[in-house]
């Protein structure tokens, strides 16, 4: 695997782990809503994830990441339509999709390091 592809996979994993750290074990939606800095930090990590997926797709399209277009679309929404973010939808992404993406990326990193 190209070193750049490895770095991008690691960037995705690092951002996922950062989101997990911001939220802690409780994963409380109302606490999330109440903390602007937490929301902004998570939005930034989602931007990084989306941009890394976009770059990965352009340099190594053979590396399969599920829901590439949705991940990139979320990045675009957060960047370009920041004033129209639906935090319920964002929360759904955080609690349902990010854990699945984490497992997928960890698997890809393991497979690529063999």
Walking along the chain (114 residues) 10 residues at a time, the average pLDDT comes out as 91 98 91 95 97 96 93 93 90 95 96 76
> Quick check: is 80 catalytic?
yes
Give percent of the chain above pLDDT 70: 98
Quick one: which of 66, 18, 26 has its CA closest to 43? Answer: 18
Q: Is 24 exposed, middle or buried, given 0-12, 13-18 or 19+ CB atoms closer than 10 A?
A: exposed
3-class state of residue 2 by DSSP = coil
pTM assigned to the model: 0.93
Domain of 35 in residue numbering reads as 3-112
Write down the catalytic residue from 80, 96, 97, 110: 80
CB of 108 within 8 A of CB of 11? no
d(CA 12, CA 94): 14
Spot the catalytic one: 7, 27, 75, 110.
Answer: 75
How far apart CA 32 and CA 35 sit, in angstroms, is 6
How many independent structural domains does the chain possess? 1
Q: Which two tokens stand for residue 19?
A: 């989101």
pLDDT (0 to 100) of residue 36: 95
pLDDT given for residue 114 in this prediction: 67
């Amino acid at each position: 695997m190209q070193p750049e592809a490895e770095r991008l996979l690691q960037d995705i994993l690092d951002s996922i782990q950062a989101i997990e750290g911001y939220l802690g074990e409780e994963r409380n939606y109302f606490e999330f809503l109440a903390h602007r800095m937490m929301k902004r930090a998570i939005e930034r990590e989602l931007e990084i994830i989306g941009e890394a997926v976009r770059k990965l797709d352009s340099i190594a399209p053979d590396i399969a990441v599920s829901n590439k277009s949705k991940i990139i679309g979320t990045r675009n929404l957060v960047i370009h339509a920041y004033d129209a973010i639906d935090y319920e939808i964002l929360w759904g992404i955080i609690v349902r999709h990010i854990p699945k993406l984490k497992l997928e990326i960890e698997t890809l990193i393991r497979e690529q390091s063999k």
